[in-house]
Amino acid sequence: MKFYLLTILSCFMLLACAENGNAQIAQANPFMAKPDPNKPLLLDMNVQIEATQAVNDMYNFKFAKAEQQFRWLKQKYGAHPLPYFLLGLSEWWKIVPNVDVKKYDERFLAYMDTSIYYAEQMFEQDEEDPEAAFFLAAAYAFQGRLYSERQEWRKATVAGKSSLDFLEICKGKEDFSPELLFGDALYNYYAEWVPEHYPILRPVLMFFPEGDRDLGIQQLKTVANNAFYTRTEAQFFLMRILTSEGTQPTEAFRLSEYLHQTFPDNPYFHRYYARQLYSRGKQQQAEKESLEILARIDSSMTGYEATSGRYASFFLGQIYEMRGKLDLSKKYYQRTVDFAKQADATESGYFMYALLNLGEIAQIKGQDKEAKDYYKEVKKRASRSTRVHEKARENLRSLRRGD
């Protein structure tokens, strides 16, 4: 318990430093609105109207504008978990384009801890309060997402278990708000998905309730169509799930197109849409979007970085190679390699195949020494069991034979 209180205290200190004391001022404000159990903010249409543009700005990577409005909500409802959750969500979306970037972690965790702190105060007054349970489940879940990205499995498990405890309280109360269905949907899907893809976690998951993959997808669709605060998060997960499942490619594409058109400056949605275009053979549109992604990286647009560049460059390399424009293709495969190194993603398929394709272009041009160097690099970096490693070996043999 002492450790928990120290954690909360340190989070308040971090928030105070990060915001020049605004958090402390808000706590001391005698005019601060207190949570009203008879009028949950989660259902307050006036608050939703006030937050609509800010939420849209956040997903469109206009963080300064979004956070200005979120801080106004904090001044007005500073004893409620909602504004801190939104501020934490804003920090989370700064991480999303490249989850290896850690500079936003502390602020993200601090805001989510503060949301948890105020939600617990509400929960202490009413242990059946669905609004308090929602914020506790959601804040712990987002913390668990970050910890899992950082491969801090113990912390991720603890956060996940805490989220589940409060998720249980939300179950059956979807009539209160469709927001409450979001956590249940994700749990139902990933409780089946995780042990299939991460067998090492099966012993841990034995202690968790069973999931229902198909039900999770249906619940996500309900949230995506009816929720306010979790609508875009549900669409984000639904897009990724439907793409990976491969059973509803048209709907996955429709979602990626909608998200990019709705939030055109969101780099994650942008590159996902470009990927969908490329995978569906829409070369002209994929070329246009990929060139735009690279232009935004070159102009240092917020959120556009090496990971998006790696995707876009590889798509362009492939497109121009198929068109027989080998010089252009080589240019973009080389950019793929450069971006992969910047993002420390040299184990990715895009990096390996860019090297392989650079070797094949050099071989076509009669630049055998250069081609050998690329193939040897692939052999050095790729696992022997992979197709790219096998192809590099075959190409080296063909060079030795003089094919």
**How far is it, in rounded angstroms, from Cα 7 to Cα 371?**
55
CA distance readout (Å), 91 to 11, 59, 165, 235: 15, 11, 25, 19
- Please give the DSSP secondary-structure letter assigned to residue 34: P
- Judged on CB neighbours under 10 Å (0-12, 13-18, 19+), 244 is exposed
Q: Treating both helix axes as pointing N-terminal to C-terminal, what angle do 231-245 and 267-279 enclose, rounded to 10 degrees?
A: 30
DSSP string, 350-385: HHHHHHHHHHHHHHHTT-HHHHHHHHHHHHHHS-TT
Q: Could you tell me the domains of the chain?
A: 2-170 (1.25.40), 356-403 (no CATH)
Residue 403's pLDDT is what? 61
Contact 272, 239 (CB under 8 A): yes
Give the pLDDT mean for 42-57.
Answer: 92
**How far is it, in rounded angstroms, from Cα 193 to Cα 210?**
11
Residue 173's pLDDT is what? 72
pLDDT at residue 112 is higher than 80 = yes
Handedness of CA 36, 41, 47, 49 (dihedral sign): negative
pLDDT at residue 66 is higher than 50 = yes
Entry pTM: 0.86
**How far is it, in rounded angstroms, from Cα 87 to Cα 159?**
19
pLDDT tens sequence across 175-184: 678 888 888 8
Residue 187's pLDDT is what? 84
pLDDT at residue 24 is higher than 50 = no
pLDDT tens sequence across 182-234: 888 988 898 888 788 778 767 767 777 788 999 999 999 999 999 999 999 99
Three-class DSSP labels, 204-218: HHCCCCCCCHHHHHH
- Judged on CB neighbours under 10 Å (0-12, 13-18, 19+), 128 is exposed
pLDDT at residue 38 is higher than 70 = no
pLDDT tens sequence across 248-306: 999 999 999 999 999 999 999 999 999 999 999 999 999 999 999 999 999 999 999 99
- Judged on CB neighbours under 10 Å (0-12, 13-18, 19+), 84 is buried
Percent of the chain with pLDDT over 70: 88
Contact 115, 88 (CB under 8 A): yes
CB burial readout 288-317, b (16+ within 10 A) else e = ebbeebbebbeeeebbbbbbbbbbbbbbbb
Locate 285 and state its tokens: 């549109």
Percent of the chain with pLDDT over 90: 72
Q: How confident is the model at residue 58 (pLDDT cuts 50, 70, 90)?
A: very high
Radius of gyration (Cα) for the chain, nearest Å? 24
Arithmetic mean of pLDDT over the chain: 88
